[in-house]
Chains A and B, each alone.
Chain A
Amino acid sequence: MSAYTVEIRVMPRAALLDPQGQAVQHALQALGFGDVASVRAGKHLVVQVQAATREEAAAKARTMCDRLLANPVTEDYECRVSP
């Protein structure tokens, strides 16, 4: 077993309204960043996990996302394993 770090990005599904992202976009535009076309806000989670291989660490992270970390109705996720 070795230690892996999995970085997980959870984002609201593109088709759904993201009011938080919109509010940030409006604030950026108010600051003078008029060329900001869109902002979407999600979550970034860093999980330390013990696993035999990199693939196993990734598989564990995906199961975590499917069961708890992301809502399959409203969110998409990506996992990146290191080292």
Chain B
Amino acid sequence: MPRVAVVVFPGSNCDADTLDAARAAGSDAYYVWHRDTDLKQPDAVILPGGFSYGDYLRSGAIARFSPVLRAVSAHARAGGAVLGICNGFQILCEAGLLPGALMRNARLKFLSRPVRVRVEATDTPFTGSYERGEELTLPIAHGDGRYVADTQTAAELEANGQVVLRYVTDNPNGSMHDIAGVCNAGRNVVGIMPHPERRNAQLLGGQDGARVFLSLEARNATQHAGDMRAVDGRHLRV
């Protein structure tokens, strides 16, 4: 059972849904307050959606300096899995854990509706249970979702397969290269604008988002299966 830390900032509003979605996928999920510096040894950290610190100055700009972010950065630098959803994606960009930035939607409106996205990379901790090229319907809910990066960074993202999700049929916010989600070069840090936690059960209109959380469980199970084999005969977990 993977341990999943859901970070709560003042102004987070998707923390409860994210915790529920992780638990529904079989994770041992728990909250970590933004002033805490101990993540309690998680397998993965999720920065949920919302409006941390009122989104003052720029979305994510102030959350980036909260005490917990130091622990999240250390976890990420050690290769630990980190997912930023919506405001979490903005925070990861502001913190420099992901390249680029998220700017005001091209048509200025706050958008809250389902969009179609294509899974472009499945070799991340959060997309391993999807098929490459698969199209999903996931909800977006953001005012600052226009992904931008300088030309060289954008070219590197494409060349290294770091675009994780891409809008198809309609680009809602004017995002560069129709980017809806990216990962870092190490592929352990992922940021996405759509909200998979809002679409993880038929009751919510579909379950295209569920495998974001199930990917974590599948990856954890595989890792532990390997651990078991490594000490075969002694039935010990390393």
Q: Which A residues are within 8 Å of any B CB, using their own CB?
A: 12, 16-17, 19-20, 23, 68-69, 71, 73-74
Known: A71-B58, A73-B149. A20 touches B101 (CB 8 A): no
> Per a CB cutoff under 8 Å, which of B94, B105, B149, B150 touches A19?
B105
Q: Which B residues are within 8 Å of any A CB, using their own CB?
A: 57-58, 61-62, 65, 93-94, 100-101, 103-108, 146, 148-150, 174
> Per a CB cutoff under 8 Å, which of A20, A23, A68, A73 touches B65?
A68
Complex Cα distance A71/B148, Å? 12
Residue of B nearest to A12 (CB): B103
* Sample of 27 A–B contacts (CB below 8 Å): A12-B103, A16-B148, A17-B103, A17-B146, A17-B174, A19-B104, A19-B105, A19-B106, A19-B107, A19-B174, A68-B57, A68-B61, A68-B62, A68-B65, A69-B57, A71-B58, A71-B61, A71-B94, A71-B101, A73-B93, A73-B100, A73-B101, A73-B149, A73-B150, A74-B101, A74-B103, A74-B148
Q: Which residues of A have CB within 8 Å of B107? A: 19
Known: A16-B148, A19-B104, A73-B100. 7 other contacts (CB 8 A): A16-B103, A17-B106, A19-B105, A68-B57, A73-B101, A74-B103, A74-B148
